[in-house]
Every structure is written in C-alpha cells, then in structure tokens.
Amino acid sequence: MASASAWPAPPAHLQDIPRYQIPEADRGLQKVDAEKWLQVTDAATVLEGPSFDHAGNLLLTDVFRGQIIKIDPQRRQLVLFEDANLTPSATAVAPDGRIYVAAGHKDGSGGEIFSIDEQGQNRRVILPADKNYQPNDIVLGKQGEIYFTDARGNSGDLSGGVYCISPGTKTISPVLTHLSGANGLALSPDGGTLWVVEFSAGVLHRLVMKNASEIEPFGETVAYRFNSPAPDSMKADDKGNLYIALHGQGRVIVLNGNAIPIGQITIPGRDKGEFLRTANLAIKPDTHELYILSSSDAEHPSGAAVFRSWSLGKGLKG
C-alpha cells in the first residue's frame, strides 16, 4: 500500500474574486476615496441627472419615482418636480436658469426632453415622445443647441445615437448614429469636442466637431475602451479632464483630455458590495467640488446617496 506522501497533491483551486474588485488594468491608477455627503433615501432606487442651479443648489433625479430633487448647501431636500409616469435621467441648467430634463416614459412609449423654471413649474416640451427617441443624457452647447443621447439599442441592435436640437427651429440633426445604448455626454471646455459613451459596447467616442451637428473629417475616434462594465454618465472639468461613472463598480474613472486614464475615485462601501450602481456625477461650477450619485442593488439594500470628492479642474457652467 502506498504511503500517504505518495499521493499527488490536490489540484490548486481558483480563488473566488468579488465582482466589485477593481480590474487589474486599473489597479495602478492613483485612487482616492469619496466621502458620503448625504443619504438621499433608504429605499431602492437609482439617482441620476445631477446639475447645479444658479443659486448653488444640487439638482438630481430619482428615476424610480419620477422626481427632480433640489438639495441646498445645508443638505435640505425639496422635491422640485414630480411625474410618476416619467423616469428622468438627466438635467442641465441653461444661462437663463431654466432646467432642461431628459426623461423616459414608464410605459415604454419612448421619452422626451422638456424644460421647467427654477420653481419646477412652466413645463415646456422640446422633444415630444412621438418623435420615438429614448433620450438619456443631455448637454447644452454654447450657442443654445441641445445635444442628447438616444439610449435605444444594445450590443446586437445598433439603433441608438447622438443628436443635436437647434436652438431656433428645433431641428433634430444626427451627429453619430448606429450606437448601442448611447449614454453619457460631455463637451470640452471650448465646446469643440463632444464625448459620447456607449453603455452596451463599453467604449468612449471622441467627436471633433466641424459645427454644431457635423463631425470634422477623420474627427471621430474610439478614444477609450473600458476594462469592465459599464460606463454610464460623465462630466468634463475646465481643464478638459473627463470623470466617468462606472455603473456596477462603485467608482469613477478619470481620463485626461487625450482620453488617457489618470486616476479613479472609489465609493465607500463598495468593498462590501454597497453603492455599486454609480450612475452620474456633477462638478459644482467654478469649484473643485465633485458630487457622485450611487445606489445599492437588491443584494445589498443600502438605498441611494450623494458622495463628495474633489476634481482636478473646476466645474463648467451648464
């Protein structure tokens, strides 16, 4: 009979790695931890669409409840607007103070873009639902144009895109089509470069613009491919850096103006699986204050919160 020492060693086992572990390609990036600034709700929802009004209040949307919430610097909350039939996902504040909103319809009948005044009243529809788009994110151009992503499609259905609404005639012009789940949008500080995220494909497009709706010849490139899902919304600072929320990872990746990764901001609790649904962020204009929206899933029910960190450049208006 063979001795026990003669038996082969048991095979090595792979280690179980948590799904929220930072991908190896990103682990060498400088990292800072955000701080929790405000627990908005303990209920299950997704927070989206942050921007700042001219009084310095943070605006954000509660997607599940169809709300736009205003949070003042003292962290007091007020429901500014509510429509239970909508799933608002983006806000942007115009120079005249009006708040532009992108929202889907809960019944699946498309989505719309509308504006409201600073009191949440006087609603004006800009892109009606019968146009059959699914607007997800919006950004306002320097000449009053409105860029929006159409979030239709997926990896096997390239039916989404980026469009421009002219300020006068409200003409809708395609900028880049055949995208899979077009999502985050950002403009460079000079307004000459439009950045677009494809949620389903996990890529970032750089569009060097010839004019408001046309791309320069050879001006479109896939500037960055994300290492894991899923890139969501983003913002640019006044230095041209990009801050991109990574939905499902509880972190924000920072790219410079040439789309080279230079850092990341992590959400507290992500190491326990909490607040992984990092969806969007905003930089307070003329400051380095960066506010990140992140929510938890059903497996780790911790509600939804606003987290604060600091940006390299200052926030842009609009």
Q: List, for residues 60-99, the tens digit of each pLDDT value.
A: 999 999 999 999 999 999 999 999 999 999 999 999 999 9
Task: Quick: pLDDT tens for 246-260.
Answer: 999 999 999 999 999
Compute the distance between CA of residue 216 and CA of residue 53 in angstroms, rounded to an integer. Answer: 33
For residues 232 and 181, what is the distance between their CA atoms, to the nearest angstrom? 10
**What would the mean pLDDT of 284-292 be, rounded to a whole number?**
98
d(CA 201, CA 221): 14
Given a cut of 70, whether residue 119 has pLDDT beyond it is yes
pLDDT at 267 over 90: yes
Residue 201 has phi, psi (to 5 degrees) of -85, -20
Token couple for 239: 């230095």
8 found inside a domain: no
Q: How confident is the model at residue 5 (pLDDT cuts 50, 70, 90)?
A: low
Its domain, for residue 90, covers: 25-310
| Closest listed residue to residue 294, CA positions, set 259, 235, 252, 262 | 252
| Backbone phi, psi, residue 25, to 5° | -65, -20
Is the pLDDT confidence value at 14 over 90?
Answer: no
Residue of 78, 35, 81, 87 whose CA lies nearest to 57: 78
Q: Minimal CA–CA distance to 59: which of 238, 224, 273, 291?
A: 291
User: Does the residue 318 lie in any domain?
Assistant: no
Residue 19, in any domain of the structure: no
Q: Region 156-171: what's the mean pLDDT? A: 93
**Model confidence at 3, in pLDDT bands (50, 70, 90)?**
low
In a domain, 58, yes or no: yes
* Rounded CA Rg of the chain: 21
Considering the domain boundaries, does residue 20 fall inside one?
no
Candidates 292, 281, 285, 278; CA nearest to 316 is 285
Q: Alpha-carbon distance 23 to 260, whole Å?
A: 16
Domain annotation covers residue 261: yes
pLDDT of residue 13: 74
User: Which pLDDT does position 51 carry in this prediction?
Assistant: 98
CB within 8 Å of 231: residues ≥ 6 apart: 183, 184, 197, 198, 199, 202, 203, 204, 244, 245, 246, 247
Task: Choose the catalytic residue: 62, 232, 237, 238.
Answer: 232
Gap between the Cα atoms of 1 and 23, Å rounded: 48
Rounded (10°) CA dihedral 117, 119, 123, 125: 50
pLDDT tier for residue 4 given thresholds of 50, 70 and 90: low
Instruction: Decide if 62 is catalytic.
Output: no
23 DSSP assignment: P
Residue 296 in any domain: the answer is yes
- When divided into structural domains, the chain yields a total of 1
Name the pTM for this structure. 0.94
Three-state SS at 211:
coil
The CATH code of the domain that includes 67 is 2.120.10.30
Residue 35: inside a domain:
yes
Q: What is the rounded CA–CA span in Å between residue 21 and residue 48?
A: 23
Are 115 and 126 contacting, i.e. CB atoms less than 8 angstroms apart? yes
